[in-house]
Amino acid sequence: MTVALDHLDRLVAFETVSSRSNLDLVDWVAQRMASAGARITRVSNEGGEKECLVATMGPAREGGLMLSAHSDVVPVDGEVWTSDPFRLRRDGDRVVARGAADMKGFLACTLAAMEQIDAAALKRPVHLALSYDEELGCTGTDDLLDVLREAIPLPGIAIVGEPTLLRIVSAHKGARVYETEFHGRSAHSSQSHRGVSSNVHAARFIAMLDRHFDRLGEVRTAVADLQPPQTTFNVGLMTGGRALNIIPDFTRLVWEFRNIPEVDADQVEAEILGWTDATGLPEMQAQWSGARIETRRTANVPALDPAMNRAARDEVHRRTGCKGDDAVPFGTEAGFFQGMGVPTVVCGPGSIDVAHKPDEYVEIAQIERAERMLGDMIAWTAD
């Protein structure tokens, strides 16, 4: 096996599903990078059971290359695998394991490429940025961003190694996830004048969302491959009520919207919360002053705007031969880095079509090609 496949064999053995610690994997990556001469910065989450890491080689100056990966993988519970999901298995021209495509394959290639660096020859730095809890809606990315702002000069290009079959992706939608709770007052259903139905007011909230996003649907993206071409919403979970003859006093919605790059997610959020404050809550409290509506944002993934990524896309294409100016329906950490002012593209080995599924795999040829691609981009930092 190649060096990257050797690394992948070790990486998939760390069972870094989001409900578990990633510290063993981070320890191993930090040791390898430190042995290669990298400067290591690590930051723990509040509970201390997870860490993000930045490993830097080369001079401490702006304009370098950042290679971004996440350490977590989705669970295998309830899936039927033909082999141990946390043990790399070769199957013809591919290797199979949880995380092989999403996205430990890219991390393995990054480690292999960075271990070959002659740091003294670099004119610009190379950074490995490793996060946690990306699969939970990028909830661990804030810690990584703090490290990037405080510990390293601003990179000139970032590559996020999500599986794209090594095509260059320069656009995707954003996503925001919320929990909204409606606190009414219970009563017997025969005495509706004594109660405040949390279900009814939750339904009015959903109707408002439907109207609001119907209007937003008139704004269509200029990115041809971004489908559907408008901002959308979904109410994925609704729980409320205890019995048919009891007016419900508590309802909980879990909902999201996915915005095209042309739509400002902050403005959308402000408009929705503004309706709650100006209309939804006063309607409930007109029935009972103790009624409440509480909304909490639980995940935020910024959109990736292709207009800000032309330089990164062109340089990656010129250096590596990787093609594409694609858009994808899934979110990544790329929008966070773009928000810091770093031109960012998504490009990594493997296919998103096999991610999160039993017998997830990556073609060996994709790993080999990714190693070469990263070597070519690292050479850019020595120019």
The residues annotated as belonging to the active site are 72, 134
The crossing angle, in degrees rounded to 10, of helices 364-380 and 310-320 is: 110
CB atoms within 10 A of CB 100: 31
Element (H, E) at 250: strand 250-258
- The encoded tokens of residue 288 equal 């009972």
| Residue 57 preceded by cis peptide, ω within 30 | no
Please write down the long-range contacts of 25-29, taking CB distance under 8 Å and 24 or more positions apart: 25/71, 26/51, 26/52, 26/53, 26/71, 26/130, 29/53, 29/55, 29/107, 29/111, 29/128, 29/130
| Pick from 282, 360, 375: nearest CA to 17 | 360
Residue 324: which region, alpha, beta or left (left: phi > 0; alpha: psi -120 to 50)? left
| Pick from 66, 46, 258, 57: nearest CA to 132 | 46
Distance, in Å, from the CA atom of 331 to the CA atom of 298, rounded to the nearest integer, reads 15
| Pick from 235, 236, 246, 238: nearest CA to 197 | 246
Distance, in Å, from the CA atom of 229 to the CA atom of 243, rounded to the nearest integer, reads 41
Which residues, at least 6 apart from 34, have a Cβ–Cβ distance to it below 8 Å? Answer: 40, 55
Cα angle at 142 between 270 and 314, to 5 degrees? 90
